[in-house]
Amino acid sequence: MLEKLDEILLSHDVVKNFHNAYKDHDFKEWLLGILPEIEKCKLQGQDNPWHIYNCLDHILHSIEEINKQSIHLDEKTRRMLAYIMLLHDIGKPESHIRRYSKKYGREVDSFFGHNIASMKIAGRVLPDLNFSPAQTNIMKKLIEDHDMFMFITLEPDGNEFHHVLSPALVQEHIHKLNEYGDGRQLLHYLTMIGLADNMAQNPALTEQSIKTVKTMQNMINYNKQKEM
């Protein structure tokens, strides 16, 4: 069954292939035995202007998007990235709250701390999905940090919790990620994750976020060339 899940998650049509497989009783029971949160994500709406899919479909679309970016990478890395996207929002149902948003003038769904919840779930299931302790350690960190781009801007915006993108900020993140491996490469993977995440959200709102992610990618590549 794991081989079947691998095939689905690395396919070109993840959304369609997953939902077709999920109709199969044996596959569904096997998957929910490892990851019962899948069904919760299927039932979890995302009533928020940033989203156009329920939680599960957002996850599946994000896997399709990461696959487009990773096509040139080795199979081991592609598999890791696909499963990171599978798990990056898996903790949203347990983090769900309804709150009034002054910005939107109504109640919306929010998922504060879902990255931590998702990271903890990943730590539980990744060994069962045939990932090594070293891979699990890296994947948990990238899941924990996948929302970092929410707090990075290209220009000062007056928000004390936001950081303006700069070479110094890039180096700071690389330094922190060096604890888990090649910090520069891991930060590049994070930008791929951030881009895939944004591409599976509401395109009417993500233009600036995508621009920020791509700007960071260019800075990482520039710094790498400069050091060579």
**Total domains present in the chain:** 1
At residue 91, what are phi and psi to the nearest 5 degrees? -90, 5
**Tens digit of pLDDT for each residue in 78-120?**
999 999 999 999 999 999 999 999 989 999 999 999 999 999 9
Domain CATH code at residue 35: 1.10.3210
Residue 157 has a pLDDT of 84
**Tens digit of pLDDT for each residue in 113-159?**
999 999 999 999 999 999 999 999 999 999 999 999 999 999 988 88
Identify whether the C-beta of residue 175 lies closer than 8 Å to the C-beta of residue 158: no
Amino acid identity of 224?
K
Secondary structure of 39-82 as H, E, C letters: HHHHHCCCCCCCCCCCHHHHHHHHHHHHHHHHCCCCHHHHHHHH
**Tens digit of pLDDT for each residue in 185-208?**
999 999 999 999 999 999 999 999
Give the percent of the chain with pLDDT over 70. 97
Tokens of 156: 């000062």
**Distance in angstroms (rounded) separating the CA atoms of residues 192 and 146:** 10
Domain span at residue 212 reads 2-227
Identify whether the C-beta of residue 137 lies closer than 8 Å to the C-beta of residue 146: no
Name the maximum alpha-carbon separation found in the chain.
54
